[in-house]
């Protein structure tokens, strides 16, 4: 039988945000700082991902979205791309059974049409095997770019307008959002980026409109449970207004 999700160990006042998204940055720089090949940084990054998925489930996070491979990453050297694709294959083949056993659901967002057939098959296998799981949901942003995602949603609306099923003046933000890859998901409460860089790099631009952003100075291979908890603590120190005002009492 699937294992029940572990309860949060955070105090009630510091309960984990429902949806956390992470830009996993700095694998190559981690390796270069140690005189190692960049591929070793990516391998250590997979270990950090395993730690983070485990910690997310234990801390009571419902949805964890990870930026694993962007649409722009195809411009990297071919040897590095082969390394990354090889690690993806290994991760799905070696870790999928454990994720399924622990009641984790895996979903993948991003463009699939131009993926290699075996990669696309692995992606579909991961989703199909875990679609009934009810614990932590892990969203893998793979071959993903937020601008490209928004453009696909706009094209879908244009098709409906052209077919006469939708009036242009009837198009709303909600309708566009309903055609994004993440249509069935709540927006992220917290977006974390490792490596010290302070930008979103074409990641969840629409969905992150009111997300809290936390930039941590460590490279992704060094990210661990303590770093995740520290980011959550920072999240709880923020005052989330969603464009409005928060009423204050007292003089």
Active-site annotation holder among 27, 73, 95, 233: 73
Spell out the residues 6+ positions from residue 209 whose beta carbon is closer than 8 angstroms to its own. 187
- In angstroms, rounded to a whole number, what is the distance separating the alpha carbons of residues 58 and 6? 5
Quote the radius of gyration of the chain (alpha carbons, Å). 19
Distances (CA, A) of 175 to 104, 155, 159, 243: 29, 12, 13, 21
Told to judge if 73 belongs to the known catalytic residues of this protein, a careful annotator would answer yes
CA-CA-CA-CA dihedral for 56, 49, 196, 109, to nearest 10:
-90
Told to judge if 25 belongs to the known catalytic residues of this protein, a careful annotator would answer yes
Distances (CA, A) of 127 to 21, 39, 61, 109, 240: 19, 27, 19, 11, 33
Cα angle 204-207-208, degrees, rounded to a multiple of 5:
75
Contact predicate 223/52, CB 8 Å: yes
- In angstroms, rounded to a whole number, what is the distance separating the alpha carbons of residues 32 and 118? 31
**Residues with a known catalytic role:** 25, 73
């Amino acid at each position: 039988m699937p294992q029940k999700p572990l309860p949060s160990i955070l105090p009630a006042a510091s309960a984990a945000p429902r949806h956390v998204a992470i830009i996993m940055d700095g694998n190559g720089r981690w390796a270069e700082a140690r005189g190692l090949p960049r591929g070793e940084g990516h391998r250590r990054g997979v270990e950090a991902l395993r730690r983070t998925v485990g910690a997310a489930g234990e801390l009571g996070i419902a949805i964890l979205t990870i930026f694993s491979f962007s649409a722009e990453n195809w411009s990297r050297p071919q040897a590095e791309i082969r390394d990354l694709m090889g690690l993806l294959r290994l991760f799905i083949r070696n870790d999928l059974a454990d994720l399924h056993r622990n009641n984790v659901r895996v979903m993948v967002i991003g463009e699939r049409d131009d993926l290699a057939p075996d990669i696309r098959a692995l992606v579909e296998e991961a989703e199909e095997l875990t679609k009934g799981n009810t614990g932590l949901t892990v969203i893998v942003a793979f071959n993903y770019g937020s601008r490209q995602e928004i453009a696909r949603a706009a094209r879908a609306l244009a098709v409906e307008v052209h077919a006469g099923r939708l009036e242009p003046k009837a198009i709303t933000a909600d309708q566009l959002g309903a055609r994004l890859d993440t249509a069935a998901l709540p927006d992220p409460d917290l977006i974390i980026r490792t490596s010290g860089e302070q930008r979103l790099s074409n990641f969840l631009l629409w969905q992150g409109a009111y997300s809290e952003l936390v930039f941590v100075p460590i490279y992704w291979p060094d990210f661990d449970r303590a770093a995740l908890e520290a980011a959550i603590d920072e999240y709880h120190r923020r005052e989330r207004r969603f464009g409005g005002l928060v009423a204050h009492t007292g003089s």
